[in-house]
Amino acid sequence: MEEKEISQAVIGRLPRYYRYLGDLKDQGIERISSQDLSTLMKVTASQIRQDFNNFGGFGQQGYGYNVEYLYEEISKILGLYQKHNLVLIGAGNLGQALANYVNFEKRGFLIRGIFDSNPALVGKEVRGIPIRAMEGLEAFVKENDIDIAVLTIPKTSAEEVAERLAGCGIKAIWNFAHVDLNVPEHIQVENVHLSDSLMKLSYNLNRYNKEKEQKE
Amino acid sequence: MEEKEISQAVIGRLPRYYRYLGDLKDQGIERISSQDLSTLMKVTASQIRQDFNNFGGFGQQGYGYNVEYLYEEISKILGLYQKHNLVLIGAGNLGQALANYVNFEKRGFLIRGIFDSNPALVGKEVRGIPIRAMEGLEAFVKENDIDIAVLTIPKTSAEEVAERLAGCGIKAIWNFAHVDLNVPEHIQVENVHLSDSLMKLSYNLNRYNKEKEQKE
């Protein structure tokens, strides 16, 4: 596979292709035309072709796409099935929800340790994984070859924890804290800002209501 | 304010401006130059000016931006402080995490009811809000003027629940189920697909690792 820079917009769309192809595969569908895939996913066929061309195509004229092949190729591109060791920091409801989501494990994301600053939670377990005190974070990350940290902690402590993680060699942070982290550039950060998403919904809802009022 | 169509890309960036301006406001900062805002937010000053021009500017030559004014204007654009009545469907860990997040309430998103199909959960409470059986969903939505539904249920039941919601007049769905919903176009949908976000992180991490290997 050619190693060229792929835009984050394309990368952002790959998991959705992966999801649809997985569903098709589960339904026993072996191949699909770009037109049918386009209808199903509600994106243009040309967008699909352009996106896939970033990785060298995968389609055959007159045949369409081989579902299983495409699914496997995208999973390789996304680096799934490669094992990643995770720590989860913050064992509140959101942290527990993520720890209980078994699909992450199937895709190679293994939660090795859970940490929380609340002494009342330390020693308890989530899905068999003990909750540890924050003091042991650095040693645990180093000893267990942890590459990804999941931050489900309040924004007030997120910066400090991110600095500690950067200091002990973490490679990536999946950040649910409602703040943009200041970490060295070599650390990959993916933010999930839930409020931002709700505000976008709010905007679209109010916009629709206004337009409707104007029409009436 | 002029009523023109604003791109979803710009809308998607507004909550982040709102968050930064809120922090500046909390720190007692009254005004900020577009250059300083640019440095703080790590986006170009021209991007900021372009984004704000969609709503008629807000900046003054030589003065910069008035933080409080800009914050309030963006909150108006986003439709915050306008009250929205919500139901939350799915009282698992993720649902409970959202129900416990008091900041949503501050911004006008009021969870009026929680529903779950699990009889063992029905009758329990989350933050004082009783969990109800799914049978009562339609009547509750109509009687309580609910406009937004939050779906924190598995993908297998999401389609059916979305159809029921469409049938009883819901206006917007904040969807955490790992599936794209098929609902009429007038219903606003905002998806939070957590796996998609984790896969994007995985891609960037593997990409970085590969590049590093090649350099070594």
The tens-digit pLDDT sequence of chain A (216 residues) is 445 677 888 888 999 999 999 999 999 999 998 889 999 998 998 898 888 888 766 666 677 888 998 899 899 888 887 899 999 999 999 999 999 887 888 888 999 999 999 999 999 999 999 999 999 999 999 999 999 999 999 999 999 999 999 999 999 999 999 899 999 999 999 999 998 999 999 999 988 888 888 887
State the DSSP code for A43: S
Q: Is A93 on the interface with B (CB under 8 A)?
A: yes
Whether B68 contacts B95, CB under 8 Å: no
Closest C-alpha among B94, B156, B181 to residue A194: B94
Q: Is pLDDT of B2 > 60?
A: no
Closest by Cβ to A104, choosing from B93, B198, B210: B198
Whether B152 contacts B92, CB under 8 Å: yes
- At A53 the pLDDT is 83
CA distance B104 to A176: 15
Closest by Cβ to B92, choosing from A77, A97, A190: A97
Chain A residue with Cα closest to B41: A180
According to the per-residue pLDDT averaged within each range, which of A35-44, A56-65, B48-57, B141-150 is highest? Answer: B141-150
Q: Inter-chain contact A193–B19, Cβ cutoff 8 Å?
A: yes
CA distance A61 to chain B (A): 29
State the DSSP code for B57: -
The CA distances from residue A79 to A15, A39, A84, in Å, are 11, 27, 10
Q: Which two tokens stand for residue A28?
A: 């026993």
Q: How many CA atoms lie within 13 A of B165 on its CB side?
A: 31
Tell me which chain B residues have a C-beta less than 8 angstroms from the C-beta of A92.
Answer: 97
Q: Is B148 on the interface with A (CB under 8 A)?
A: yes
ipTM: 0.86
Q: Which two tokens stand for residue B67?
A: 């933080």
What spatial distance separates the first Cα and last Cα of chain B, rounded to whole Å? 56
Whether A174 contacts B121, CB under 8 Å: no
CA distance B59 to chain A (A): 22
CA distance A29 to chain B (A): 18
Q: Is B176 on the interface with A (CB under 8 A)?
A: no
Closest C-alpha among A129, A59, A143 to residue A89: A129
SS3 A172: strand
Tell me which chain B residues have a C-beta less than 8 angstroms from the C-beta of A94.
Answer: 93-94, 97
Neighbours of B111 (CB within 10 A): 23
- Output B35 or B158, whichever has higher pLDDT: B158
Q: Is B145 on the interface with A (CB under 8 A)?
A: no
Backbone phi and psi for residue A109, each to the nearest 5 degrees, phi listed first: -100, 105
Closest by Cβ to B198, choosing from A92, A94, A109: A109
Closest by Cβ to B172, choosing from A79, A108, A201: A201
Chain B residue with Cα closest to A12: B200
Q: Inter-chain contact B195–A15, Cβ cutoff 8 Å?
A: yes
CA distance B196 to chain A (A): 5
CA distance A69 to A129: 35
Q: Inter-chain contact B192–A190, Cβ cutoff 8 Å?
A: no
Q: Inter-chain contact A209–B171, Cβ cutoff 8 Å?
A: yes
Q: Inter-chain contact B200–A209, Cβ cutoff 8 Å?
A: no
Model confidence band, residue B1 (pLDDT cutoffs 50, 70, 90): very low
Q: Is pLDDT of B40 > 50?
A: yes
Q: Is A69 on the interface with B (CB under 8 A)?
A: no
Which H or E run includes A32? strand A31-32
pLDDT tens profile B6-24: 788 888 899 999 999 999 9
- At B214 the pLDDT is 83
Q: Is B82 on the interface with A (CB under 8 A)?
A: yes
- At A8 the pLDDT is 82
- At A6 the pLDDT is 78
Q: Is B106 on the interface with A (CB under 8 A)?
A: no
B contact test, residue of A37, A145, A198, A210 with most B CBs within 10 A: A198
CA distance B108 to B80: 6
CA distance B173 to B170: 8
Tell me which chain A residues have a C-beta less than 8 angstroms from the C-beta of B97.
Answer: 92-94, 96-97
CA distance B93 to A119: 21
- At B58 the pLDDT is 63
Tell me which chain A residues have a C-beta less than 8 angstroms from the C-beta of B15.
Answer: 193, 195-197, 199-200
